Amino acid sequence: MTRALALSLSLAACGAAHVPASDSARDDREAAVFGAEAWRVPGSVDFIGFAGNDVIVASQSGAVVRYGRDGARHIIAEGALPDVADVAMHDGALYLASESIVRVDLAGGTVKPVDLGQAAYALAIAGNRAVVGDSIEGPLRIVDVAKHTVLAELEHSRGYTSPYIVGDRVIAGRNQRAAGIWNLQTGKRERAFAVGNATLFAMSPDGKLIATGAFYAGTLQAIDINEIASGERTATINLSCSPGAIAFSPASDRLAIACQDEVRVIKAPTGEEIAKLAGPRSYVRTIAWSPSGDLLALGGNDNVLHAWRTDTWQPLSRVTGSRGEIRELAVAGRFLASHSWGDSSAWLWVTDLVKPAIELGGKDREILSVAGDGDGILVALTMTPGNERRASIERWRGVSRIAQATLPSGRFGMAPLVRALGPVRGGGVWFTAEGRVTVLDPDLRPRWTSPMTTDDPDITDGDADATATGATIVLRSGNTLSVISGIERRVLATRPYTGCGSSGPKISPDGKRFALIDAKGVFVFSTQDAKQIASLGLPTEDTAERTIAWSNRGEVLALAGPSLVAWNVDAKSATSMSAANVLSLAVDGDRVYFGRNDGTIARRSLTSMRATAKALPITEPAACGEHGGSMFGSLGGLGDSDQPRGRLPDEGTYDEPDSTMPDFNEAD
């Protein structure tokens, strides 16, 4: 386990000490940002380009950021386009593609729609020509950028994505099938390589080499380098992990290969190793060289820009503490635990020092959930020693782990996916996995598991929350809400529930109520009989950023898109406060901690935030539509996406390459 900050023994000794919240209202002199390094990115990194000496980054959430080599950061635009599918850089602007295409001016930050097609699943631009793919199944088309007219269709290009332009040629890939090369002027295909499991591809700037990636069921990770003219394979580079991005240097003499555990730089075309760098520990989506070749930069799901000088291979960027989107927070005395997506890790922070104390996760330790335990922290995680994967629960006091237990295998003999956990009076622990609640005794041995309360036999997870003693646990599993006693170890009440993609539940400080949030609104129920008490419609249907908590005043705090709504159920009043880029929250007295999409944590005073709050009308939530959708709760989908930017998911539904596609060993 690595430590980001060497703490003295005195700090470890006082780790269990609790610093009580002041009775008087705090102002925003306590405002702070945890992990405020400049190299962080608001969202997963989908594109890296260069403008002069600066690095330009675009995230999947539509943020465009300019980084100086001295670490200076300037956010050009945020939320320019949601769910970005592809990015192109051209003429002093970034073009973001998704359901539409927008142009983000790198100088002024203005965002304007561009008519290059109704939608763009794939996009590349060079000169006055763009290559656009408007659907997953559709072909790639050459479009005149100025006239917005289609000039030609790339022949045999159905199912090809992630195009980019090298000189007068276009290269694109067909997921798990092939890489193709076309003439940019005519749309004629020059070469197509049936390379089996190719999900990565890159053409050297001189047009002589093509590199493709392959991995088979996780047992083989490799990059092949081939001469385009002859199809001869010149090198195969074996890796320790599945590659996420590759790129040739501007001089075509080096190839950079990145995966989560390592970054390799090799000579092209021979494959001799030049440098081996530490990987970011999360899935890599993109990698790029500066035009002069003096800088190598990459990014991915940890929402950090990583950069190295290529003369010394020294890192230019450094980040301590959490990485990726902060999706879960837990307060315990003077310590704060954060759990982030990206590297599925967690960190323990010292709140009064605003510094990371220790990393709870790390290599082979994937964090599933964290929770407060009085003055300590509970951690659920999976460990992978060798090829064996097992789940564990750990109890921490300050920076010391004082107990650990391995959980028995769940359904299908696999390690259970723990979605939530917490303490039970007397030293026990409860957790949820596979749609049930399990109670452990003080030695962390299984004591009792609740029956399955949902009528859906395929449910394998469920969100839950509990009072501080575990006397009342509320479980949302499938289409059922259950109230369970962790002390008496029995189900107290159940009721059916179908929401529009719900998150929660969260229990009120007095233990009498619990709340759920979904795409339409917030719903409050009684913990006694699980009956609904009240509901509140929310002003936005942005389901990407929804979570809830309770304030020290007994208000429901609902995070809905860029706003934090404070709802006093009894007074039937609600206010709205600004909370942009926030994904999770935790409350400690008047303090509220916000987990953000760039891996940082902001601390604010609720009192100071209320000073600028706006009244929100009390309305009933709209009914769920036909496509209400579903949304993960506080943990969501764990682990990293293994799909590169703009690639198709491998669902086994795609046709084989057409019969006209030559292999390397076939004549053109």
Q: Is 18 buried (19+), middle (13-18) or exposed (0-12) by CB count in 10 A?
A: exposed
**How far from 3 is each of 313, 335, 359, 370, CA to CA, in Å?**
23, 15, 6, 18
Q: Are 389 and 373 in contact (CB under 8 A)?
A: no
Q: Between 37 and 183, where is the model more confident?
A: 183
- The average pLDDT across 426-445 equals 92
Note the pLDDT of residue 514.
96
Architecture of domain 195-319: 7 Propeller (2.130)
Place of tokens 């700090």: 11
Flag whether pLDDT at 640 surpasses 60.
no
DSSP state of 609: H
Three-class SS of residue 275?
strand
Note the pLDDT of residue 199.
62
> CB neighbours of 454 closer than 8 A, spacing ≥ 6?
435, 462, 477, 478, 479, 480
Note the pLDDT of residue 525.
95
Note the pLDDT of residue 457.
60
Note the pLDDT of residue 437.
94
- The average pLDDT across 109-132 equals 90
Flag whether pLDDT at 214 surpasses 80.
no
* pLDDT tens digit sequence for 59-89: 998 999 999 988 899 999 998 998 899 999 9
Note the pLDDT of residue 196.
53
Please report which confidence band the pLDDT of residue 25 belongs to, taking 50, 70 and 90 as the band edges. very low
Q: Which of 278-287, 496-505, 552-561 has the lowest average pLDDT?
A: 496-505
**How far from 560 is each of 248, 536, 563, 573, CA to CA, in Å?**
42, 12, 5, 17
Note the pLDDT of residue 645.
33
Please report which confidence band the pLDDT of residue 633 belongs to, taking 50, 70 and 90 as the band edges. very low
- What pTM did the predictor assign? 0.83
Please report which confidence band the pLDDT of residue 456 belongs to, taking 50, 70 and 90 as the band edges. low
CB environment 23-61: b (16+ within 10 A), e (fewer): eeebeeeeebebbebbbbbbbbbbbbbbeeebbbbbbbb
Note the pLDDT of residue 176.
60
In this chain, the answer to whether the domains covering 195-319 and 322-616 adopt an identical fold is yes
Note the pLDDT of residue 215.
55
Note the pLDDT of residue 479.
82
Percent of the chain residues topping a pLDDT of 70: 83
* pLDDT tens digit sequence for 390-415: 899 999 998 999 999 999 887 767 88
Q: Between 102 and 518, where is the model more confident?
A: 102
Please report which confidence band the pLDDT of residue 331 belongs to, taking 50, 70 and 90 as the band edges. very high
* pLDDT tens digit sequence for 526-578: 999 999 999 999 876 554 568 899 998 899 999 887 889 999 999 999 999 98
Q: What is the CA radius of gyration of the chain?
A: 26
* CATH number, span 322-616: 2.130.10.10
Three-class SS of residue 13?
helix
Note the pLDDT of residue 330.
93
Domain ranges of the chain: 195-319, 322-616
Cα–Cα distance measured from residue 539 to residue 583, given in angstroms and rounded to the nearest whole number: 17
Q: Are 326 and 601 in contact (CB under 8 A)?
A: yes
Flag whether pLDDT at 660 surpasses 50.
no
Q: Between 103 and 23, where is the model more confident?
A: 103
Please report which confidence band the pLDDT of residue 276 belongs to, taking 50, 70 and 90 as the band edges. very high
Please report which confidence band the pLDDT of residue 174 belongs to, taking 50, 70 and 90 as the band edges. confident
- The average pLDDT across 640-656 equals 30
DSSP-derived pairing of the beta strands 295-300 and 420-424: unpaired
Cα–Cα distance measured from residue 103 to residue 129, given in angstroms and rounded to the nearest whole number: 15
**How far from 247 is each of 257, 298, 594, 613, CA to CA, in Å?**
7, 10, 36, 48
Mean pLDDT, the chain, integer: 83
